[in-house]
Amino acid sequence: MPLVNVLVNGRAYTVACDDGEEDHLRELGQYLDKRVRELTSSVGQMGDARLLLMAGLVIADELAEALAKLHERENEIASLKSRQNSEDRATEALESASVRLEAIAGRVARA
C-alpha cells in the first residue's frame, strides 16, 4: 500500500492509499491545504485540530451545495424526459389517428 506525504498548513502528514491513487490523494491534499490557507488568512492561525475542523466544515458545505445542485439538475432532467415521453406518446397518437383518418377517407372515396 503506497504512502503519500500531504502538506497541510506547513505540516507533513503521511497517508496510505490504494495503488494508483497517489496523484489523486496529492490533489486532495493540495485542495485541503488551499482551504486551510484561506481560513488562516481570514481568521488567523489556531490549533491544527480546530483549523482542520473548520476547513472540513467549509468543504462539507461546498459538497452539500454541489449535491443540492446535482439533485436539482437530476430533477430537471427527469422532468424533461417525462415531458419528452408525453410528447412522444402524443406524436404516436396523432400518427395513429392520421393513419385511421386516411383509411376512412380512402373508404369514403371508393364508396
pLDDT at 57: 96
pLDDT of 75-97, one tens digit each?
A: 999 998 888 888 888 888 888 88
What confidence tier does 34 reach under pLDDT thresholds 50, 70, 90?
Answer: very high
> 12-16, 56-60, 85-89: which has the minimum mean pLDDT?
85-89
- The whole-model pTM stands at 0.68
pLDDT at 91: 85
Transcribe 21-87 into DSSP letters.
-HHHHHHHHHHHHHHHHHHHHHH----HHHHHHHHHHHHHHHHHHHHHHHHHHHHHHHHHHHHHHHH
pLDDT at 70: 97
